[in-house]
Amino acid sequence: MRIELDRPRCEGHGLCEEAAPQLMHLDDDGELVIDVPEVDGPDLDAARSAVRVCPVAALRLAAA
Amino acid sequence: MTAPTESDIDIWDDRILVDPYPTYASLREQAAVVHLPKNDLYVLTRYDAIRDALGDPETFSSTSIGFNLMVNEALQGTSLASDPPTHTQLRATLSQNLTPRALRGLKVTIDEKADKLVAELAASGSFEAIDALARAFPIEIVADLIGFSGHVKDNMLRWGQAAMQVIGPLNQRTQESFPIAGELYGWCSSVTADDLAPGSIGRGIFDAETRGDIPQGSAGHIIHQYLGAGVDTTIASIGNIVALFGRHPEQFELVRENPDLVPAAFAEVLRYWAPVHIWGRKATRDVEIDGVTIPAGAQVGILFGAGNRDPRHYGNPDSFDIIRNPVDHLSFGYGPHGCAGQGLAKLEAHAIIEALARRVKSLTVSGELREPSNITRSFEKLNLEKVVSA
């Protein structure tokens, strides 16, 4: 699966980073960087958590 | 004889507004959608139904977030009451000063102010927490943020309460509040950059308008939304923090022992007692949820507090347990209209919880009072005694 970010919608709340620090982080400007866009195995659960906690629904998982 | 998915309650009945959770439980067990003919309203009661609706603005339009025609007309053209794609630009303009990255610089000041206020109150041994803390703190923070003082600051509490109250149905509370909400609207329409303190975010919004970065005439609207949305809700949350720590000393002790639990504690306060009762949407088509059809054009009411206590989503939902860290609670809404000020709300509430954990060893609530209110649910009075400084 592939993590997709709706960039204009992202407001940098950072809950996704807390849920999946191995997959994404906020940079020094508070912009979200997806470090590992293609996910499978155990990373997939973390990615689902990140998508789930985004308060503005800016993240989604799509077929790779 | 009412249908199994109908209820003859009035969701704005005084007794329900003061103590809504028994009603929420029975509506939620009836169905995910319950028709309330007395209110001409379909309420969403279960977690999944609420979250799905908030994430689907095409079906659940924000053109009817309020429960009377006058307020929905007054809100036209704001991000609050618009749908994508119009919403997207308005929201960006509104939220660019409220995102966590934009607020980072405020954290130190907010933490210092919270610590000073809580330390003084704790040293006094007994105090009334709503006026002295829950109201005083957010009003000062918002006044600094927007850059106003004087008579505007003095009016902030009644203006902020009225701005929320008028979102309700045309009951007496709404009718009495319209003139007061009008005072806030009037001030926001006439305020200019020179009225606001240099260096404040409010002044920055006017500068952005002058530069052409945001549309002409939008600065006053943005300030109106900051004040309308950011005062009464935060006051409710801070009062709830104090009241719940008073009722659950073992939970307060957990935070005192481990300040890393501060964000989890605030998430649980928001889940357990939603600051906002109900918020509106309009169904744009016939939509079926768990076998119940909401007809196209119907007014929908989202019961955040009912969803937050749905046993289908949270185990043991009626217990206040900060360890559960419910980051997906519904009290900030969700999706494109998710609370734009949640970053600021968290800064303020986390600062207060940290200060309480640092400065207070124990506290006892000796008296409390709630007044019915159309949209927000908060304490009017919360007397604390035997407050022991740490």
pLDDT < 50: residue spans in chain B? 1
Residues B301, B331, B236, B69, Cα dihedral to 10°: -30
The closest alpha carbon to B13, from B45, B39, B44, belongs to B39
The closest alpha carbon to B324, from B272, B264, B266, B246, belongs to B264
Inspect the interface and report whether the beta carbons of B342 and A29 lie closer than 8 Å.
no
pLDDT value for B1? 44
Mutation test of the interface with chain A: which of B50, B98, B99, B332, choosing the one with the most A Cβ atoms within 10 A? Answer: B99
A14 touches chain B (CB under 8 A): yes
- The alpha-carbon gap from B343 to the nearest alpha carbon of chain A, in Å, equals 7
pLDDT value for B2? 56
- The alpha-carbon gap from A33 to the nearest alpha carbon of chain B, in Å, equals 14
Nearest chain B residue to A28 by CA distance is B101
- Evaluate if residue A19 carries a pLDDT over 90: yes
pLDDT value for B77? 83
3-state secondary structure B58-82: CCEEHHHCCCCHHHHHHCCCCCCCC
Inspect the interface and report whether the beta carbons of B100 and A15 lie closer than 8 Å.
no
Structure token digits, residue B3: 């249908």
Domains defined for chain A, CATH in brackets: 2-62 (3.30.70.20)
Task: Answer whether the bond into residue B169 is a cis peptide, omega within 30°.
Answer: no
Inspect the interface and report whether the beta carbons of A57 and B92 lie closer than 8 Å.
no
pLDDT value for B95? 85
Domains defined for chain B, CATH in brackets: 14-389 (1.10.630.10)
Nearest chain B residue to A16 by CA distance is B327
Q: Any idea what the Cα angle at residue B47 is, between residues B259 and A32, rounded to 5°?
A: 55
Strand order through the sheet with B127-128: B127-128, B379-389, B360-370
Could you tell me whether strands B299-303 and B278-283 are parallel, antiparallel, or unpaired per DSSP bridges?
antiparallel
Q: Which of A9, A15, A30 sits opposite B327 (nearest CB)?
A: A15
A44 touches chain B (CB under 8 A): no
Inspect the interface and report whether the beta carbons of A56 and B100 lie closer than 8 Å.
no
The closest alpha carbon to B331, from B345, B312, B351, B315, belongs to B345
Q: What is the mean pLDDT of chain A?
A: 94
Inspect the interface and report whether the beta carbons of A55 and B55 lie closer than 8 Å.
no
Q: What is the mean pLDDT of chain B?
A: 95
Burial class from Cβ neighbours inside 10 Å (0-12, 13-18, 19+) for residue B216 reads exposed
pLDDT value for B105? 87
In chain B, what residues touch A17 (CB-CB under 8 Å)? none
In chain A, what residues touch B104 (CB-CB under 8 Å)? 30
Express each pLDDT in B34-60 by its tens digit: 999 999 999 999 999 999 999 999 999
